[in-house]
Amino acid sequence: MSALIISTNYGTEQDELTSPLNALKSAGIAVSIASPSLDPIQTLVGDKDPGETLLPDVEMSSVDTEDFDVLVIPGGTINADNLRTDDTAVSLVKSFVAAGKTIAAICHAPWILTEAGAAAGKTLTSYPSLATDLKNAGATWNDVELQKCEELGWTLLTSRSPKDLDAFSAAVVDAAK
């Protein structure tokens, strides 16, 4: 099994990228990080303070969905806002949905589901400020630590914020096994 994490090169919430990454690696699951370019990914803590810098493994434009079982999308307001306007990232989400594969999105990351037309008919959670956007896109929004939705032929795992990372990361590992 293998997992793909997508991130922009700036603005991803550090722990929302590193926690699932480390959990997947610790479980022996192959994981790749894709970003728009191979430039370092500068993460942030709390959307403002510089966090760790990580190197992506591949450019998003080079990703073949067939090579991965799970797509993980970390949040960070800046990251999530930029991902949802990135045509390649939106296409990757659509491709994972069409292939019936699992997508895991935390905090602000579910914004991209609205752009990909993948929120409608799903039950999910997110950072609370996204609730109206997601409901307007046809989703059912719940304020829970981890929401698993298997409707419409693919699994969606969502969590609200970094405080939910233990449950989120465990669910990502379970999905990738």
Domains of the chain with CATH codes: 2-176 (3.40.50.880)
User: What is the identity of the amino acid at 115?
Assistant: E
- Known catalytic membership, residue 108: yes
- Using DSSP, state whether 124 is helix, strand or coil: strand
> Mean pLDDT in the chain?
97
The tally of CA atoms less than 13 A away on the side-chain side of residue 99 is: 17
Say what the pLDDT of residue 22 is. 98
Sign of CA dihedral 91, 10, 49, 57: positive
Say what the pLDDT of residue 45 is. 97
| Given 83, 89, 105, 107, the catalytic residue | 107
The tally of CA atoms less than 13 A away on the side-chain side of residue 133 is: 18
What are phi and psi for residue 79, nearest 5 degrees? -55, -50
Instruction: For residue 90, name the pLDDT band (cuts at 50, 70, 90).
Output: very high
Per-residue pLDDT tens for 96-146? Answer: 999 999 999 999 999 999 999 999 999 999 999 999 999 999 999 999 999
- Known catalytic membership, residue 28: no
Query: What are the tokens at 5?
Result: 């994490």
Per-residue pLDDT tens for 2-46? Answer: 999 999 999 999 999 999 999 999 999 999 999 999 999 999 999
Task: Report how far apart, in Å, the C-alpha atoms of 19 and of each of 23, 88, 97, 120, 141 are.
Answer: 6, 24, 24, 28, 24
pTM strictly above 0.95: yes
| Given 108, 111, 118, 169, the catalytic residue | 108
Per-residue pLDDT tens for 34-75? Answer: 999 999 999 999 999 999 999 999 999 999 999 999 999 999
